[in-house]
Chain A
Amino acid sequence: MTTYDHNSPQDDLLLALIEGELDAAREAAVLATLDAPTLARVNQMRRHRALLGRVCDVAAPPQLLDRAMAVLEREAVLGPSVSDDAVRDSFQIDQYAVPAGGAWQRRLAIAAGLALFVGGIGYFGLRLAPHRPVIGPQFASAPSSSKTSGDAELHTDPQPTEQLAKSDPTTTDRVSPPSPAPLAQEPTASGDTRLAQADAIDPDIDDSLPFSIASAVSFDDADPIELALDEPRTDLTPARTWAAYEDLTPATLSVFNEMPASLDLEHAARLAADGRLVIRVRADRPAIAAARLIGQADSRANKGRIFRLMPCPPPDFEEAAANALPPARTMDDPSGLTVPYRTPMRPVVETVLSVELDPSASTIAMVQAELEVLSEGAVVFDMLEMPVTMAPPCGEDGGLRGWNAAAPTSVVHSVVVPLIVESNE
């Protein structure tokens, strides 16, 4: 009979018979030796084998390969991930294995949980509590005269200003007028100089600004854009900077700056990588130029390019695009401020598009050459005062799509740059 791991010779013979591995003569000879029940079983098994052998193959789903490739590429980039099953298995707890503790154990566990909960809330509450910036003048006046706010109290040096002045032999005979910066930089009793410095910078930041602007302004100290591109626009008068017009984004206002001289390509590439480049196309016939560019912002036309022209503007420029036409040439702003985009001198913005490109000088040169041909106008690279919010690239139909919609191998390091079509008037 059958042993556990190996067939008997008789079983091997039957198996060969079932699987059709015997020649005809041998098969007939073996069949002749079988009794009726065994013969019936053998025939049934042969039939089952034949039936199973005729089951058709099913085509693999078309998306299967793409899914597997996406997983492979993701894991190649991010490292092997723990599968869901592994995570689930690692957290499986045998409910019957939990020792039945007494009531005091449960109470202790509840108390410990509560303590952790309260501690956690306290910790995160302190960390996430809104931090009101301390305004400079309050700082300056706090030690000598009035303590008007709790914040000032917190950051006030308990040592009087006169004592501080006397401690410095070079300033013993004069008392400096209170000013925000020096006082803020002086060490406090708690030694918290950095906090005071951080609170004292940029006193002109308006809390009422939209979040996007506020976040763009209040970068961390180590922000690479601030460090790498500390390039103020010297050609702009203060009245034309964004701070004067709280209801407009800096991106929108930058549209209405005068057309400057074009930046060189290397500079433009660096700005593009930091989100501070804007491409301005100034054409004699802006409507025609805009129509041509929009007509080229489709997948078929983009196939042959190393950049991608898209019909929707980056988010920061949506307002500029919305207000592009028709032009309003009157000064009717109720606030009384000079509103550059409504002055007769403003350039007439025809439309705002997006260009997705690799931020390199060679690519930007090709972009410039092709845009000049398409628009029959001048293409100028200009610098934005503030980095624009990086736009998710939109599809050729104008709808937004995610950055990582395609497989990782097809994702290139690209940025989205606003493209403004203006009148040459």
Chain B
Amino acid sequence: MPRPVVQSPSPVPSFSRESDPLAEPKAHPGPAQGNNQEDMALVAAVRAGDARAWRELLARYQTRLFNVCLRMVRNRDLAEDMTQESMVKIIQGLGSYDGRSKLSTWMIRVTMNVCLSKLRSEKVRRHHSLEGLAERAARSAGRDSSGGIGADALGFSQDREPSTASRVQDAEEQARVLDALDLLDPDQKAILVLRDLRGLDYDQIADVLGIALGTVKSRISRARSALLERLEEFERQEKQGQDQRLGRG
């Protein structure tokens, strides 16, 4: 007997998280969910030269770090490379970790610095702009051209069983928001990734990005505005495309 679909009272229907069983629970817990005492014990072991502690420490955070990179560059291969580079820098830089911030925050800071330095290089930026355009064009044509990395692989919470049209619509809208996010300036993208996708609070974001609390808020405001403008731009382009098709027809 089919189970009745219960609509969420929220304006945004709930998306399925079960498509990725390995995904960490993300009720916006931020990076502080790790046990800090265990972290510090591992840090001490790493500093003492215990190579096995490297693996354990990195294994605890690899998914989180990988997802930060994946959201920043939106390309699985690049994200893997950046995560690997971040891991190396984390272990090599543990000597400079002074314990003032949580280890998880410090690790995300290292990772975000790696991502930002990559994104600021002209080559990567151009590559992804083009890729994003191609992806959007393909999606509007009803197919996925992300080089074999489908929406699910990138973590889009699309329902495998689109029980209602609204869910499909929401999934499409989510993908469009991610497209728009991808076109933002790296700093704006970073702050929205940290805030909305990773769920860090303002203090943690300030710590990760090395900026003042007030600057965090103003940057979030500007990033939201920029995201909205990108989405409005998408809508205008889509409308123009539809008008042109109708005109030809």
Enumerate chain A interface residues (CB-CB to B < 8 A): 2-7, 11-12, 14-15, 18-19, 41, 43-61, 64-65, 67-69, 71-73, 75-76, 80, 83, 409
Contacts and interface: CB of A to CB of B under 8 A. Distances in A.
A6 B67 contact: no
DSSP class of B's interface residues: helix, strand, loop or mixed? helix
Nearest to B232: A44
B12 A47 contact: yes
Nearest to B222: A2
Interface string B1-31: 0000000001110110101101110101000
Nearest to A53: B196
A7 B217 contact: yes
A52 B62 contact: no
Contacts of A76: 51
Residue among A52, A65, A69 having the largest count of chain B Cβ atoms under 10 Å: A52
A51 B88 contact: no
Given A58-B20, A65-B59, A409 B51 contact: yes
Residue among B76, B153, B214, B218 having the largest count of chain A Cβ atoms under 10 Å: B218
A396 to B, nearest CB: 26
Contacts of A69: 54-55, 58
A56 B197 contact: no
Contact of B155 (A3, A45, A58): A58
B228 A45 contact: yes
A70 B15 CA distance: 38
A6 B62 contact: no
B20 A57 contact: yes
B221 interface: yes
Interface of B: 10-12, 14-15, 17, 19-20, 22-24, 26, 28, 51, 54-55, 58-59, 62-67, 70-71, 76, 80, 83-85, 87-88, 91-92, 153-157, 170, 173-174, 177-178, 181, 192, 195-197, 199, 212, 214-215, 217-218, 220-222, 224, 227-228, 231
6 contacts: A11-B218, A47-B11, A52-B197, A53-B28, A58-B154, A68-B88
A58 B157 CA distance: 10
A3 B66 CA distance: 34
A52 B177 contact: yes
A52 B220 contact: no
Contacts of A51: 12, 170, 173-174, 177
A58 B54 CA distance: 22
Given A58-B70, A75-B88, A2 B11 contact: no
B54 A72 contact: yes
A54 B58 contact: no
A6 B92 contact: no
A60 B63 contact: yes
B235 to A, nearest CB: 11
B215 A49 contact: no
A45 B91 CA distance: 38
B157 to A, nearest CB: 5
Given A58-B70, A68-B58, A69-B58, A18 B224 contact: yes
Given A57-B24, A68-B88, A72-B91, A3 B218 contact: yes
Contact of B217 (A4, A6, A61): A6
Contact of B26 (A5, A46, A57): A57
B59 A6 contact: no
A48 B58 contact: no
